[in-house]
């Protein structure tokens, strides 16, 4: 009967929910262990000045080394966000990045800015701004060397709150980038009021280049009007790189230049060779 079918569907649904909850609980427990046992690490992807081909910064991207395998952030960051454990994980990312900047300065008398991704819930947390300021002081790093990446969607959750926090971060000297720009349907009228320094064009729009350039052109125009630095994400080939350069995009990041690299490799390729330079210190 229909009633029996309905009841079967319900118990199937309930069973699915229970399984999902169990998986979530297991993942949450192992994320706690991962933090305790130091199983996270950061990879670094360089950002290039498209005119000079110089490395001008990098993005720190988290990985989870679990039973000899590297797990992508896409499979654990969403769970970490749902359960709240993103806050200590995110703090670890920021502290680790401060340590790396400090270490490069000590070893090479040179450092480039590191961008860290801040999750929605982490951005909403009251301890974020004081934590970042305190870490920058503890590791004696200039705030310009740390850039906070926040997705457009996170900023939209509570615009008033976002403006207040961004103002605190910006006036302390930290860089602020809107990540995945173009995917969040933000209204242009309030974008003007956000105290940001950088806009990252989402790779969805870069991958359409050069054939389909309407959205990339619009974002570049907007960024210029608001006087922001524009970074294109996900550049995978020379055609995309050339289009962006011709259209006055200043900075690029993507597999065409480099994959995200383990720290030793990144350091050897992009930092160690710059010992002679004293800029950025």
179 binds ligand C2E (CB under 6 A): yes
Chain-centroid distance of CA 120 in Å reads 11
Stretch that binds ligand C2E, among 20-28, 47-55, 73-81, 125-133 (CB under 6 A): 73-81
As given in the structure block, the two tokens for residue 254 are 């993507």
Neighbouring C-beta atoms of residue 20, cutoff 10 Å: 10
Q: Binds 74, which of Mg ion, ligand C2E, none (CB < 5 to 8 A, cut-off by type)?
A: ligand C2E
Q: Binds 175, which of ligand C2E, Mg ion, none (CB < 5 to 8 A, cut-off by type)?
A: none
152 binds Mg ion (CB under 5 A): no
Q: Is 133 helix (H, G, I), strand (E, B) or coil?
A: helix
Residues 244-273, interacting with ligand C2E (CB under 6 A): 253-255, 260
Total of chain residues touching ligand C2E, rule CB under 6 A: 23
117 binds Mg ion (CB under 5 A): yes
CA 178 – CA 181 distance, rounded (Å) = 6
74 binds ligand C2E (CB under 6 A): yes
27 binds Mg ion (CB under 5 A): no
Q: CB-wise, 105 or 219, nearer to Mg ion? A: 219
CA 118 – CA 228 distance, rounded (Å) = 20
Contacts 24+ apart (CB under 8 A), 265-269: 266/43, 266/44, 266/46, 266/58, 267/104
147 binds Mg ion (CB under 5 A): no
Q: CB-wise, 90 or 182, nearer to ligand C2E? A: 90
Q: CB-wise, 119 or 176, nearer to ligand C2E? A: 119
C-alpha pair distances (Å), 268 with each of 108, 109, 132, 162: 11, 14, 27, 37
Q: Report which of 191, 106, 126, 120 is spatially closest to residue 153, judged by C-alpha positions.
A: 120
Beta strands 251-252 and 69-71 are: unpaired
**To which residue do tokens 């900047």 refer?**
101
Residues that bind ligand C2E (CB under 6 A): 45, 61-62, 72-74, 77, 90, 93, 117, 119, 149, 179-180, 203, 233-236, 253-255, 260
Residues that bind Mg ion (CB under 5 A): 117, 149, 179-180, 233
């Amino acid at each position: 009967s229909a009633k029996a079918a309905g009841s079967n569907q319900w118990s199937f649904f309930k069973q699915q929910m229970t399984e999902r909850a169990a998986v979530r609980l297991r993942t949450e427990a192992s994320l706690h262990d991962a933090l305790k046992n130091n199983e996270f690490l950061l990879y670094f992807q360089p950002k290039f000045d498209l005119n000079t081909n110089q490395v001008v910064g990098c993005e720190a991207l988290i990985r989870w080394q679990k039973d000899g395998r590297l797990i992508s952030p896409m499979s654990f960051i969403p769970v970490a966000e749902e359960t709240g454990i993103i806050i200590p994980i995110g703090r670890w990312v920021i502290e680790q990045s401060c340590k790396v900047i400090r270490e490069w300065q000590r070893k090479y008398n040179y450092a480039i800015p590191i961008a860290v991704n801040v999750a929605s819930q982490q951005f909403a947390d009251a301890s974020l701004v004081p934590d970042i300021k305190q870490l920058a002081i503890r590791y004696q790093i200039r705030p310009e060397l740390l850039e906070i990446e926040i997705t457009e969607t996170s900023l939209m959750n509570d615009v008033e709150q976002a403006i207040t926090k961004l103002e605190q971060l910006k006036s302390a000297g930290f860089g602020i980038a809107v990540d995945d720009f173009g995917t969040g349907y933000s209204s242009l009228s309030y974008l003007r009021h956000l105290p940001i320094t950088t806009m990252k064009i989402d790779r969805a729009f870069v991958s359409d280049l050069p054939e389909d350039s309407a959205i990339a052109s619009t974002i570049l125009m907007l960024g210029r009007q608001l006087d922001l630095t524009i970074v294109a994400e996900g550049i995978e080939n020379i055609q995309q790189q050339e289009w962006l350069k011709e259209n006055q995009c200043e900075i690029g990041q993507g597999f065409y230049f480099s994959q995200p690299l383990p720290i030793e490799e990144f350091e050897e390729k992009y930092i160690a060779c710059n010992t002679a330079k004293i800029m950025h210190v």
